[in-house]
Amino acid sequence: MTTPTVTLNDGLVLPQIGLGTYKLTGDDGIASIVGAIHEGYRLIDTATRYNNEGEVGKAIAASGVPREEIIVTTKLRGSAHGFDETMAAFELSRQTLGLDYIDLYLIHWPNPSVNRYLDSWQAMIELKDDGLAKSIGVCNFTEEFLSKIIDATGVVPSVNQIELHPYFPQAQMRAFHAQHGIQTESWSPLGKTEELRNEKVITDLAQARGVTPAQLILRWHTQLGAIPLPKSADRGRQMSNLHSFDFDLSPEELDVISGLERGRLWGGDPNTHEEM
């Protein structure tokens, strides 16, 4: 199986599904990530705040897969906003990962009360110009925050990684992204708990297709044009999540799934949520 790819606005090519690594820590975490790479994952999503950049670096080295074949994403934490702080935080992440460069470097949260995300974005532009970050983007940015950094610098983020799942389909943000050439990535794509996977709409459609509820939800993401980042510690579930491209949902079925909409699940409103 070849995973479909997406080309970002700066030319970097990403597989259309990646491995979320939140909570994959220690030796078990390393083993899980190595297993995922061996299953075929080539996009790995970590963050300084996950305290597992070291594990991700070790897993990549242990996998035997050439480093340049793996897209590594990490994220700038809120306590390091500011130009110099971003430069220092990036260097620390690079060293912890044990990598010469980072493929995709993202601002983790805008933290508008701190109001230094623009300084961080300017530092990230320099990191990209220096070739240390191949691609730069953001997470959890609203239209307002995106417009502010684009208007100030002329540099459009390659990615905005947002909470996205059938309970929170984010049609307006996705339309804004499409209009500006920003790739949507979906965090908590499975809604994190089993509640979403147990929805009758999901289980009925999955059963009719002969796929798992998780595969059905992931196909909804990819047909919307997003890149889902499901986390699984289990190799079997990692494998089945990755192999979720060989069936298609009709436009009506996509709409039925989006009809589960009820809003954010964890109250992470970027206008007010602070994460340091």
Among 3, 8, 16, 20, binds ligand NAP (CB under 6 A): 20
CA dihedral (25, 12, 3, 93) in degrees, to 10, reads: 0
Q: In what order do the strands lie in the sheet with 133-139?
A: 19-20, 43-45, 71-76, 102-107, 133-139, 159-163, 183-187, 227-228
204 residue type, one letter? D
Q: Is 157 an interacting residue with respect to ligand NAP (CB under 6 A)?
A: no
Catalytic residue among 50, 105, 117, 167: 50
Stretch that binds ligand NAP, among 129-137, 190-198, 242-250, 257-265 (CB under 6 A): 190-198
- State in angstroms the smallest separation of the CB of 33 from ligand NAP: 11
Is 50 marked active-site? yes
What's the N-to-C CA distance of the chain in angstroms? 39
Stretch that binds ligand NAP, among 33-41, 86-94, 198-206, 224-232 (CB under 6 A): 224-232
52's tokens: 């597992």
| 108 carries a ligand binding annotation | yes
Q: Which of 92, 108, 96, 150 is nearest to 125 (CA)?
A: 150
Q: Is 187 an interacting residue with respect to ligand NAP (CB under 6 A)?
A: yes
Q: Which residues make beta-bridge pairs with 7? A: 13
Q: Is 166 an interacting residue with respect to ligand NAP (CB under 6 A)?
A: no
Active site residues: 50
Query: Where on the chain is the footprint of ligand NAP (CB under 6 A)?
Result: 20-22, 45, 108, 139-140, 161, 187-192, 212, 214, 229-234, 237, 240-241
Instruction: Give the residue ranges of the annotated binding site.
Output: 108
